[in-house]
Structure 1
């Protein structure tokens, strides 16, 4: 039954994608974020659902009603294009191009669909729909993990979808922490009390799921995110008290085994996992001097550790987005990677300014602010996790760019005033004059 439901949703999306390829893009986002087929037990588990969806999107571009009507604009989009090109060069000029081909294809597929988001999303309605699908897909997994944490008293570790970028407990936890601010943005657009309360419950369950993963990196990310969320808030005293009570309550709920594990953050010298990461960081730092294009998609090679790490017996994945990029793609790759996120942060800041000046654009202020909160979690938590190729932050980048483009052309070509039924049901009609724009 589960297989039939998943395939039926994908089939429906693909049929609509022939006329409206952006709808197929939403189906792709759902598949890549939630990976529902990984929770099936029949033919859907191995069915090429993502490939079929991508094909439908490209057919829709050729024969559908929607056309790519905007060029690739915005500094983040340009940096993302440069990153894609450099990753390809690193692969082609790396140590083992044939062995890294599968990973390169996986990354290219993700990047191509992010480009599709940059090119296909135009209206506020499309931006809101993509944001809801992006955050909602992970939130559903967060609800499941949060309930599991409650039922096990925090003793059962939470894992992500198997065989994905976030299958490991640490990566899954960071993905949920990044999702919470985006859920908060969606909540800020709701007017109904019950919708807002329900979203609060979802965010709490996602936080519980992240804590239930027993990831120390996620704990640092959620701490940084909470601090920045408080700083961005207007009523700091009231918000601070709410966050403090909620945070203390969640920590008290967790068992002693969780507290013992979190307390080992300061004892990294005695933790072989932590020392393995330090070994990998030294390896990445030193080998980048000899490999200007990087080594490809796998710097965790015993022969490299033997030459470049002071701990050659500790062959370990980088578990850091910064050292992962440095080892795989060299110093130039790292500079492009950092420039991408700096430019995205600045774009989110421009959204905040636009929303502060015009009451009709207030949603942009909310969106830009929560994007920055989400990126704080990614940039802090990512310092201890290997999530360079995870699509979520790149889709947020694309949404920031298209939201800024929408605001730039709004005065010249306003979108038709229309409130979609699903948006009305969720209470997203705070701003009727431009609700669907």
Structure 2
């Protein structure tokens, strides 16, 4: 029955695409985020839904959709450049078989990110893409939030829609994506036209945001706690009542502490002591190994180059209860450990050039969104216009991602590249529909502007 429902839902979307090809773009976003072929149990697992939607959205745009207003931006060029460079490093990878496995999904994420802005020609399309992304992630997040409330959480134990600890279904990755989605959900509640803002929309968004913030608790992901704190600081920048928001947030945190699981609190305490936590200590060792590796291999080792690392280090743990506390040192030997950081992931796999392209792509997005914020100041009615609001939401989401990326290897996470695609689409739309101010013309003293001929 579950397989039938999922196939019927996807089938309706695909059928709508014959009248409006943009629906095929939306169905691909849904499939790529939720992965319904992994949620089902029987026939749906044998159907290449992702490939079908991927071919449909490209073919629909190429042969059926209008190209009016489509523009290719600098950031899309950077995505293509990164795609080509990753292909080159894959051919010379230290682990060619494993590198090919990762390349098989990375190239689709990069190609779709470069393609998506070409389809986002109108405000309605920008909103629809953002809505599908939020609702698709909400399918996973709300499920996890409910299970967290009823005590089904824990590090590596929160049961989501699929029995798989990879991609968006991995705890730290899902926590980062969930927190990054909060600003976009708030933008839809304020400026949405598909579901016009009313008490029902706000009630759903409130529940969704609560679920997003519960995911770091349910997964016991330290990255999620850091991301939530960063988002809180970012939201203070645009809040009208900053002190009220900060005070309310602090009060809610204090009120929530008694209800948090003891296992979660103990895991969060390891944020201040990396030597006492084997997971954190391993990350530091992997990062040091990566720096040593790129000294000899400045162009990187291709995907999954981390498989060749090996190191030995000491961990310190406190045992006993005060005042009888002693420190116990253990020697740990490890090898083949992942980077646990997008920055070191890019550096180790793609070298300095790949890291430079990736950082340029990300930081340029933050700058472009800031420029849109400045272009659209507060409107005549005292409320922010939708362009400024969307730019703010996408900027906040990207900064949260960049902070979360410090501790999680998500340099090529498809969901994040969809956010990049939304940014490119918004930037292109604003540049096309907004009159740019004339450049200043410097004049000599006494010189007058030439009149019309």
Give the TM-score normalised by the residue count of structure 1. Answer: 0.87
CA distance 1:252–1:155, change in 2 (3 Å): farther
Distance of 1:267 and 1:321 partners within structure 2 = 22
Find the partner of 2:409 among 366, 386, 389. Answer: 386
State the partner residue of 1:93: 92
Q: How does 1:9-158 map to 2 (within 5 A)?
A: 9-67=9-67, 70-73=70-73, 75-152=74-151, 157-158=157-158
CA distance 1:329–1:359, change in 2 (3 Å): farther
How far 1:155 sits from its partner (Å)?
5.4
Distance of 1:38 and 1:248 partners within structure 2 = 39
How far 1:57 sits from its partner (Å)?
1.9
**Higher-strand-fraction structure:** 2
State the partner residue of 2:167: 165
How far 1:306 sits from its partner (Å)?
6.4
Find the partner of 1:239 among 210, 232, 245. Answer: 245
State the partner residue of 2:262: 256
Q: What is the CA deviation profile of residues 117-148 of structure 1, one whole-angstrom value per residue up to 9, with x for unaligned ones?
A: 12111100000000000111112211111111
State the partner residue of 2:305: 299
CA distance 1:320–1:155, change in 2 (3 Å): closer
How far 1:292 sits from its partner (Å)?
2.6
Q: What is the CA deviation profile of residues 220-272 of structure 1, one whole-angstrom value per residue up to 9, with x for unaligned ones?
A: 11111111112332210222223223333344321112111111112211222
Give 1 or 2 for the bigger CA radius of gyration: 2
Find the partner of 1:228 among 234, 247, 251. Answer: 234
Distance of 2:292 and 2:307 partners within structure 1 = 14
Q: How does 1:299-338 map to 2 (within 5 A)?
A: 299-302=305-308, 304-305=309-310, 313-338=334-359
Distance of 2:395 and 2:283 partners within structure 1 = 27
Calculate the aligned-residue CA RMSD, in Å.
2.4
State the partner residue of 1:420: none
State the partner residue of 1:369: 392
Q: What is the CA deviation profile of residues 57-83 of structure 1, one whole-angstrom value per residue up to 9, with x for unaligned ones?
A: 23323432434752311x322222222
Distance of 1:306 and 1:276 partners within structure 2 = 9
Distance of 1:312 and 1:338 partners within structure 2 = 32
- Whether contact under 8 Å (1:21, 1:120) holds in the other structure is no
How far 1:21 sits from its partner (Å)?
3.1
State the partner residue of 1:401: 424
State the partner residue of 2:7: 7
Q: What is the CA deviation profile of residues 323-350 of structure 1, one whole-angstrom value per residue up to 9, with x for unaligned ones?
A: 0111010011111111111100011112
Distance of 1:271 and 1:164 partners within structure 2 = 22
- Whether contact under 8 Å (2:102, 2:303) holds in the other structure is yes
| Corresponding residue pairs, total | 408
Distance of 1:62 and 1:347 partners within structure 2 = 28
Structure 1 gap ranges (5+): 413-437
CA distance 1:214–1:19, change in 2 (3 Å): same
- Whether contact under 8 Å (1:355, 1:363) holds in the other structure is no
Structure 2 gap ranges (5+): 313-331, 436-453
Q: What is the CA deviation profile of residues 358-390 of structure 1, one whole-angstrom value per residue up to 9, with x for unaligned ones?
A: 559711111111112212221111101111111
- Whether contact under 8 Å (1:349, 1:369) holds in the other structure is yes
Worse-superposed segment, 41-50 or 335-344: 41-50
Find the partner of 2:364 among 321, 332, 343. Answer: 343
